[in-house]
Chains A and B, each alone.
Chain A
Amino acid sequence: EAGVAQSPRYKIIEKRQSVAFWCNPISGHATLYWYQQILGQGPKLLIQFQNNGVVDDSQLPKDRFSAERLKGVDSTLKIQPAKLEDSAVYLCASSLNGGGGGDTQYFGPGTRLTVL
């Protein structure tokens, strides 16, 4: 079974530029998550989709970050404009149904963003 796919794996940009990341979840997984992981920290949820609807975006800095999952499968996360503090690894994860309990999240390899 194919895992969560992400691209690109690495990205270097200048501050104030824009950047986009792509994620394709595990086939059949209804729920998709975007996390930000700053060096030395645990992942922090940015946004959660259930199919093509947003379930939780309370921790997404909406002035500069946006995400979509138009057809309920793959998703893109955009930062515009980027700031130095956005340097981090952006992880995408998916799970079967996004419910509570033991619904397990499976992570992609991440995109390492460096903002200069």
Chain B
Amino acid sequence: GQNIDQPTEMTATEGAIVQINCTYQTSGFNGLFWYQQHAGEAPTFLSYNVLDGLEEKGRFSSFLSRSKGYSYLLLKELQMKDSASYLCAVRAIYGNNRLAFGKGNQVVVIP
């Protein structure tokens, strides 16, 4: 099985930087995804990491360390529309490559 742990909630100010952490335990690691989910809406894809290091996409960056079972999502220049839940999902070869999602981290952006 896969264990994925994310902190539950954080509050940050508009314009600031926030880091959302995700730790996982799995066998046959085959990639890690970050999704954004606004309240009452579907998850939308943000980023994918399979090799160690940092992937940058505009205001969002995602980092992976496979040896530590650790990833983070970095949100820069926070905007009010970034208030959402951020879901970390791990794919493993064992188990049909199914995605196992964490509970999500709720980010609240305040003016």
Contacts and interface: CB of A to CB of B under 8 A. Distances in A.
A40 interface: yes
A104 B45 contact: yes
Nearest to A38: B103
Contacts, number: 57
B78 interface: no
Interface string B30-42: 1101010000111
Chain B contact patch, size range:
20 to 34
A42 interface: yes
B5 to A, nearest CB: 11
A43 B33 CA distance: 13
Given A48-B96, A56-B98, A100-B97, A43 B30 contact: no
Contacts of A43: 43, 87, 101
Contact of A91 (B42, B91, B93, B103): B42
B98 A100 contact: no
Interface of A: 4, 40-45, 48, 55-56, 58, 91, 98-102, 104-110, 112
Interface string B1-41: 00010000000000000000000000000110101000011
Interface in B73-94: 87, 89, 91, 93
A30 B75 CA distance: 33
Contacts of B102: 42
A40 B6 CA distance: 12
B99 A105 contact: yes
A115 B103 CA distance: 22
